Amino acid sequence: MLTAIHPKLPMRNKSVTTDYYINQLGFSMIGNIDFDGYLMIKKDNIEIHFFEHKTLLPEENDGQVYIRCKSIDSVYQDILDKKISIHPNGNLGTRPWGTREFSLLDPDNNLLTFGETL
């Protein structure tokens, strides 16, 4: 029986990634051990892991994760209030497949799409 999934995304600089996810998006660290070249974070019921990829070219990164959420309008407003950049084509909107979504790009160009089923 499958119980959870924890995507692993590339990061060039652990401190930059940590700052973005912890200080800007409000995630927290998992555990109290700092693993060299690896980062684990969580927020509410989701967990994302990152592996070090120092030679990653952000413009060539296809890393993506889809995050289901509730009260997407509140989540979106919180992002706007924190002045976090929204993906140029990722403003909050209703999609033809029955969701409301918006997207962000993290410092390594990993695409984070937040969605709520209508």
If you ran DSSP here, which 8-state letter would residue 58 be given?
G
pLDDT in tens, 11-37: 999 999 999 999 999 999 998 888 999
pLDDT number for residue 84:
97
Q: Which two tokens stand for residue 18?
A: 């940590």
Residue with the two structure tokens 């109290």? 32
Residues of the chain predicted below pLDDT 50: none
Q: Alpha-carbon distance 2 to 103, whole Å?
A: 27
What gap in Å lies between CA 12 and CA 106, rounded to an integer?
11
Determine the pLDDT at residue 33: 80
Q: Determine the pLDDT at residue 79.
A: 97
